[in-house]
């Protein structure tokens, strides 16, 4: 780096200049406000920033970064704080750039199936408005995450199998660089071949290369006919084999989720859904413009599941019940935390090619038993993504070390099968140690990109790069 960021106390030298940019209600050094921005939903250690600011415009973001760049003060962008890998924790102190008030839908290009928004727009709120036009933004992280956070982490979710992750649904960006310069990448044209693909360089960079202040997103029409199905299996390995065949048959599920028996047991703690037998299960959703085609698809899915020893297959789930099931699935992480109240936790998030998915599931399930860790296994099965959540008493160092060893072994299983250490949660703090193993020499190219775009290392320091 040209120069490392200087000590966090230097923030006081630029406070008067920040106060000249922001009115009193949009800048804070209040302890309670700092604590609110010290941690996300992960178990990573919190770190207090020295100040929080709430910009409303790209120009204010630009002025803030120019000021921080000159003074070598770290800046950490903040969305909704719903990430679970420590991505927005301000580990070096400095300024938290809370983008939640940049929450405008700027233009709905309904005839082009596009929308242009600011980064503070919340995913679910935006989709409620887009529904009036018969459209929706398909990547679905579960939480009501901000669009800026989804872009920063390349968020995915239950619909990735059909529609792709956030990166696959972005056309253009406005980005403020570390020194305050403002650039635009991409265009509203669906086909683009002019120059380097800077748009997708910034998506998934976790705020370490620039701050996204505007995005044009691709939308999809809301399908006419939708049906959910739930299949139950004797083992998670059977369920994973069924996943491989469903994807291989080209049946194009809109969602395909795998839950082990423990995850189903915890799902059943939600009082708003009917209880399910505590067996490994697939939760599926299929959509079509024709009701007959949808029925034929479900018949084929039933047959494939039965070939893999399915012990139950339920379809015809009504709209309200389907909404409750997916709501419960989206909040399953929070349900786990409540179920294991007072316990520390470690979340795994690996992904592999679909051909390796059944083996990864079987080996991971066996590994959990062999190493004696407590938790569950669940994931977005249709795109080869699997999550592990293991819990342990916070005061028990031996249990903590066992959980860490399990997570390392789990990631190792994925990397050995041509996979990745993180399918959707981002690198943040917890996955940096796997980056060299996964990327090899390409990691040095990433360092060079960071050095070029952020030579003073002020943007979200301590993230992504080990």
Q: How is residue 180 written in tokens?
A: 């305050």
Which residues lie below 8 Å from residue 280, measured CB to CB, with a gap of 6+?
232, 233, 234, 235, 236, 238, 239, 258, 259, 260, 261, 264
Q: What is the pLDDT along the chain (466 residues), one digit of tens a residue?
A: 444 544 445 778 899 999 999 999 999 999 999 999 999 999 899 999 999 999 999 999 999 999 999 999 999 999 999 899 999 999 999 999 999 999 999 999 999 999 999 999 999 999 999 999 999 999 988 778 999 999 999 999 889 999 999 999 999 999 999 999 999 999 999 999 999 999 999 999 999 999 999 999 999 999 988 999 999 999 999 999 999 999 999 999 999 999 999 999 999 998 888 889 999 999 999 998 898 999 999 999 999 999 999 999 988 666 777 888 888 888 899 999 999 999 999 999 999 999 999 999 999 999 999 999 999 999 999 999 999 999 999 999 999 999 999 999 999 999 999 999 999 999 999 999 999 999 999 999 999 999 999 999 999 999 999 9
Q: The domain 8-100+447-453: what is its CATH number?
A: 3.30.43.10
Residue 7 neighbours by CB distance under 10 Å: 11
Domain boundaries, the chain: 8-100+447-453, 105-221, 223-430
What Rg value do the Cα atoms of the chain yield, rounded?
A: 22
pTM of the entire predicted model: 0.93
- Pairing type for strands 385-392 and 344-351 reads antiparallel
| DSSP one-letter string for 323-374 | HHHHHHHHTHHHHHHHHTTT-EEEEEEEE--GGGHHHHHHHHHHHHHHHT-E
Q: For the domain made up of 105-221, give the CATH fold.
A: 3.30.465
Residue 212 neighbours by CB distance under 10 Å: 29
Cα–Cα distance, 314 to 100 (Å, whole number): 41
Contact 164, 48 (CB under 8 A): no
Domain spanning 223-430, CATH architecture: 3-Layer(aba) Sandwich (3.40)
């Amino acid at each position: 780096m040209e120069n490392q960021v200087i000590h966090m106390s230097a923030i006081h030298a630029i406070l008067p200049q920040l106060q000249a940019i922001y009115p009193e209600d949009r800048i804070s050094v209040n302890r309670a406000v700092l604590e609110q921005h010290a941690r996300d939903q992960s178990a990573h250690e919190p770190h207090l920033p020295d100040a929080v600011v709430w910009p409303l415009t790209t120009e204010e973001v630009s002025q803030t970064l120019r000021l921080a760049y000159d003074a070598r003060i770290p800046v950490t962008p903040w969305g909704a704080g719903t990430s679970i890998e420590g991505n927005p924790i301000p580990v070096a102190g400095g300024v938290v750039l809370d983008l939640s008030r940049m929450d405008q839908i700027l233009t709905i290009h309904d005839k082009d199936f596009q929308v242009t928004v600011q980064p503070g727009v919340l995913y679910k709120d935006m989709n409620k408005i887009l529904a009036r036009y018969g459209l929706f933004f398909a990547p679905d992280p579960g939480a009501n995450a901000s669009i800026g956070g989804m872009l920063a982490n390349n968020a995915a979710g239950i619909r990735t199998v059909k529609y792709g992750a956030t990166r696959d649904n972005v056309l253009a960006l406005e980005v403020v660089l570390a020194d305050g310069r403002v650039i635009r990448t991409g265009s509203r044209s669906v086909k683009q071949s002019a120059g380097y693909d800077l748009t997708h360089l910034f998506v998934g960079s976790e705020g370490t290369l620039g701050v996204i202040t505007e995005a044009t997103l691709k939308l999809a029409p809301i399908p006419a006919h939708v049906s959910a199905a739930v299949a139950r299996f004797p083992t998670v390995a059977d369920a994973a084999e069924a996943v491989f065949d469903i994807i291989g048959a080209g049946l194009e599920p809109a969602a395909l989720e795998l839950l082990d028996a423990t995850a189903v047991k915890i799902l059943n703690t939600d009082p708003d859904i009917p209880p399910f037998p505590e067996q490994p299960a697939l939760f599926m959703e299929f959509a079509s413009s024709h009701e007959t085609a949808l029925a034929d698809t479900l018949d084929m899915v039933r047959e494939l599941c039965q070939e893999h020893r399915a012990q139950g297959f339920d379809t015809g789930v009504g709209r309200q019940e389907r909404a409750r099931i997916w709501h419960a699935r989206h909040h399953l992480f929070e349900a786990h935390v409540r179920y294991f109240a007072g316990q520390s936790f470690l979340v795994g998030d690996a992904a592999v090619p679909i051909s390796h998915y059944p083996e990864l599931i079987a080996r991971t399930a066996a590994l959990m038993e062999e190493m004696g860790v407590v938790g569950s296994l669940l994931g977005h099965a249709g795109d080869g993504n699997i999550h592990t959540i293991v819990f342990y008493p916070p005061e028990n160092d031996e249990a903590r070390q066992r959980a860490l060893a399990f997570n390392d072994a789990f990631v190792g299983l994925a990397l050995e099968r041509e996979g990745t250490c993180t399918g959707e949660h981002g690198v943040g703090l917890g996955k940096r140690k796997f980056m060299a193993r996964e990327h090899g020499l390409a990691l040095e190219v990433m360092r060079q990109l960071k050095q070029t775009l952020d030579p003073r290392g002020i943007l979200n320091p301590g993230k992504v790069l080990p």
